[in-house]
Amino acid sequence: MRPQAVQRQADEALSIARMIQRAVADGRAADQTLAAHWRANRHFGSRDRRFFSAVTFAYFRWKGWVDRISDFPTALAAACWLDGEINYPALTLWAELPATLAPETALSEKANALATWQNWERPPDIRELFPAWTFDELLSDGSPDFVERIATAFQRRPPLWLRCRAGQMETVKEHLATAGFICRADSRIENALRVEGTPGSDVLRPLTHRLAEVQDIASQAVGIACAPKPGELWWDVCAGAGGKTLQLLDTLDQNGHVLCTDIRAVALDELAHRAQIAGFSSFITRHVAEDPTEWAIEEQFDGILLDAPCSGIGTWSRAPDARWRTTPDQISEYQLRQLALLRYAAHQLKPGGRLIYAVCSLAKSETIGVLEAFQAKHPTFRPTLTRSITPDFGPGIGMWSACLENPA
């Protein structure tokens, strides 16, 4: 790039980073704000957008450390350096970066390297990368390295995960290999495929819905836990755009039916579009009110999936700005919503049926807290399986789920 173009890109990136910083402080999501900015500024090329996105998300991933640096451009450069995003000429206009850090560098070593570069008396603590309440609220597995392990997972961008449709794994792999992407099947979950790098829409479009779905491995694990049987009637309560609905339909293989509800009509339209491309017809979508007491669901179901609205703490590796937008009060509000949805859903479950409660959160309040409050009012419902999937499992997002059985 010519020097003038590099300077222009650096100036624009700095302006965008400050804009997103204000948006996140106001509670708006960084990715949605960026998407709106791209729509309003269509002159940005793909190279510009990649750089601006890399700077923005690196900053929020390392904000807890680099906010110690008073000069904002240097802080952005430091965040990119910590994130391994150093191959941009514009960064050299902000700071003279130290030696490149290896991808496997431990967080403690990164803290020491940053402190040495900035001449700090002490390195920053791992916990400073997150709000102060974080590790008191997270559901720990009791391991002595829990904090460092989970923090490390949150600080690394996870790979792309695909769920291949039955019998299509090799075709999908061949397509991605031809496009230059390394991928490998995961031995833990059938049909899960890990893809390194970021395939563009032109690469993924021939695959999605017909041969594979973009779906995190933790989400796939929850879908597998549902284990729908041929001929069963299922209800996907908060279906959204249908990631898990499509997995249910795939498993049922047209021998069964799924009711898909959501408060967002646009999401249900997207679900129907995706399902039709995939060749599914044994589903119905139904738009519902935000208040479940206003619903009029008359059917009784063999199985119910409640992937409930939540704080999204488990997604912090993919959406690092979310950690700075989430508050304990919001988590408490989500807990009330989750409990209301769970109680309503329970009334629609057939005797002997299975209710899967899931959240992409690892907060105690939204997981075991909801389960305990539900069981206090519904003691006959028996949890047969609870599972906490931490973000280092995939690596990917973190999710928690419980399978509740309605006694016959």
Q: What is the mean pLDDT of each run of 10 residues along the chain (408 residues)?
A: 86 96 96 94 89 96 97 97 92 93 93 97 96 94 91 94 95 95 94 92 92 96 94 96 94 93 96 94 95 92 97 96 96 96 95 96 97 94 92 95 90
Distance CA 121, CA 359 (A): 41
Report the pLDDT value the prediction gives residue 226, as an integer from 0 to 100.
94
* pTM as predicted: 0.93
Structure tokens at 127: 């916990």
- Per-residue pLDDT tens for 146-199? 999 999 999 999 999 999 999 999 999 999 999 999 999 999 999 999 999 889
Q: What is the set of domains in the chain, with CATH numbers?
A: 3-128 (no CATH), 130-156+226-408 (3.40.50.150), 159-215 (3.30.70)
Report the pLDDT value the prediction gives residue 198, as an integer from 0 to 100.
86
Report the pLDDT value the prediction gives residue 19, as an integer from 0 to 100.
97
Distance CA 162, CA 336 (A): 33
Distance CA 310, CA 338 (A): 8
SS3 58: helix
Residue written as token pair 């009330």: 336
Structure tokens at 287: 């738009």
Report the pLDDT value the prediction gives residue 45, as an integer from 0 to 100.
87
Report the pLDDT value the prediction gives residue 214, as an integer from 0 to 100.
95
Report the pLDDT value the prediction gives residue 392, as an integer from 0 to 100.
94
- Per-residue pLDDT tens for 355-395? 999 999 999 999 999 999 999 999 999 898 899 999 999 99
Distance CA 337, CA 312 (A): 14
Report the pLDDT value the prediction gives residue 185, as an integer from 0 to 100.
96
Report the pLDDT value the prediction gives residue 260, as an integer from 0 to 100.
97
Please name which of 323, 324, 331 lies closest in space to residue 370, comparing C-alpha atoms. 331
Please state, as a whole number, how many other Cβ atoms lie within 10 Å of the Cβ of residue 232.
21
